[in-house]
Structure 1
Amino acid sequence: MDDIIVENQIATGLLAVVYKVVRKGDETQTPLILKEVECQDLKYAEKAQSEYRLFHSLKHRFICTLKDSFIKWDRKLSTAFVCYVMEYFEKGDLMTLLNSYRARKEVIPCELLEKWIAYMIESVNYLQKNNVIHANIKPSSFYLKPVNNSEEYELLIGDYGVPTIMRDARTKTRLVANAFDYAGPEIIDGQPYDFKSDIWSIGATLLDICTTGLYDYEQFHSYLLNIRFDNELLSNILTDILKVYESKTLINLIESMLCRIEDRPNI
């Protein structure tokens, strides 16, 4: 912590306060992201840090690797925080990009959609092969990395959830608007979750990507909440998507992900 200089606060999310930082002595002044997560007490912070350490060893083209993690004790607040440092992405995340498309009522091009699906599935497949449950997948968990300085982006997954934080009862008190919209029903209900919980979240993210030209922000997030218990609503949304993309394969993929946990596919 002593070697980190905070430049400014970027955001406040479901699990963390996010800062743009640089390391002292770094001649290149390469920007990094610091995420600071409040914990129940020091014991919980230590447990959460041990869980975050697992992500340090992940190395993959579409994975955002953690560069460091540590515990911070705030004497004024008498509060423990677990903090982690990751790469800074100047272009932001997928949520910001989708919101810009949705505001203009523009459809994501098929070619781009196909690439994004491949990036997401490959990254989650890698996590599962390493026995990692992400537990916090949503559009803002995917960071935009330009390809050869072009306007095309690869998606790198980050913003990980760990059991100690996700199961903390106070996590829901830190909610921001729409924070749990992409989570599987079992996570919302406080039930046990597993690798297939990430499958639901991928399906919900695909639903977001495929409807930027169909529904405004408020309408979409209302639908996203209600599809958990309204199969007819989900069917109607998929019918609308089919009219746009004319791909039954795409519809079948999304539908297979947004179902009961025991019926969801493996990746």
Structure 2
Amino acid sequence: VIQMNIEESARKAITQELKINQSSQCPYVVMCYQSFYDNGAISIILEYMDGGSLADFLKSVKKISEPYLAAIFKQVLKGLLYLHHEKHIIHRDLKPSNLLINHRGEVKITDFGVSAIMQSTSGQANTFVGTYNYMSPERISGGRYDYKSDIWSLGLVLLECATGEFSITPPVPN
């Protein structure tokens, strides 16, 4: 439950996230069943993902075996294909903590608070949002970027899961 006395920017991010979640009908995106306001609070009912995040899983196993890694990333890529080409959404914050797992081994994308809805797959953005260590070079430099930026971020997640460490330090922007 999120209280309504939060900053306007946080309210906008929540509204954006709800809009994306409620419009997505994809088995690789966490489902938002309902949201409502009650007694000054926003209540959001999301699909239950009982396995925690990929970040949690990675902490417990250190690195992930190739067969399981392939299964995980096949699902995430299908989710991105849907978001990018069906919904024209750039996630802009792909990282292990935004990939949730359930007891069936299903992996789903979550946290659309900083996502951008583009007019088409050729649309571009230039807003500096997301988690710095997972940003593509064009995002770090303040340049224009598109959905391919999510693929870069996913590549960094894959590298982290395969090696058990985050080995790339992005350059500090000027």
TM-score scaled by length of structure 1: 0.50
Conserved? CA contact 2:93–2:115, under 8 Å: no
Identity across matched positions, percent: 25
Conserved? CA contact 1:67–1:87, under 8 Å: yes
Aligned in 2, Cα 1:201/1:83: closer, same or farther, shift over 3 Å? farther
CA distance in 2: counterparts of 1:188 and 1:95, whole angstroms: 23
Q: Which residues of 2 match residues 82-97 of structure 1 at below 5 A? A: 84-97=44-57
Shift of 1:84: 4.7
1:206 aligned partner: 158
2:91 aligned partner: 134
CA distance in 1: counterparts of 2:133 and 2:145, whole angstroms: 16
Conserved? CA contact 1:63–1:156, under 8 Å: yes
1:18 aligned partner: none
CA distance in 1: counterparts of 2:138 and 2:153, whole angstroms: 11
2:19 is the alignment partner of 1:53: yes
Shift of 1:87: 2.3
The superposition leaves residues 197-256 of structure 1 with CA deviations (integer Å, 9 ceiling, x where unpaired) of 1111111110111102xxxxxxx34x3224x69xxxxxxxxxxxxxxxxxxxxxxxxxxx
Q: Which residues of 2 match residues 17-166 of structure 1 at below 5 A? A: 34=1, 41=8, 45-46=11-12, 49-50=15-16, 52-69=18-35, 84-102=44-62, 107-129=63-85, 130-147=87-104, 153-162=105-114
Q: Which runs of 5+ in 1 are unaligned?
A: 1-33, 75-80, 148-152, 173-178, 213-219, 230-267
Shift of 1:118: 0.7
TM-score scaled by length of structure 2: 0.72
CA distance in 2: counterparts of 1:188 and 1:85, whole angstroms: 34
Structure that is richer in strand per residue: 1
Q: How many residues align?
A: 162
The superposition leaves residues 118-151 of structure 1 with CA deviations (integer Å, 9 ceiling, x where unpaired) of 111111001112211111111111111122xxxx
Conserved? CA contact 2:138–2:145, under 8 Å: yes
CA distance in 2: counterparts of 1:36 and 1:194, whole angstroms: 33
Runs of 4+ residues over 6 Å off in structure 1: 35-39
Aligned in 2, Cα 1:180/1:86: closer, same or farther, shift over 3 Å? farther
CA distance in 2: counterparts of 1:86 and 1:68, whole angstroms: 7
The structure number with the bigger radius of gyration is 1
What is the one-letter code of the residue matched to 1:100? S
What is the one-letter code of the residue matched to 1:98? L
CA distance in 1: counterparts of 2:64 and 2:4, whole angstroms: 33
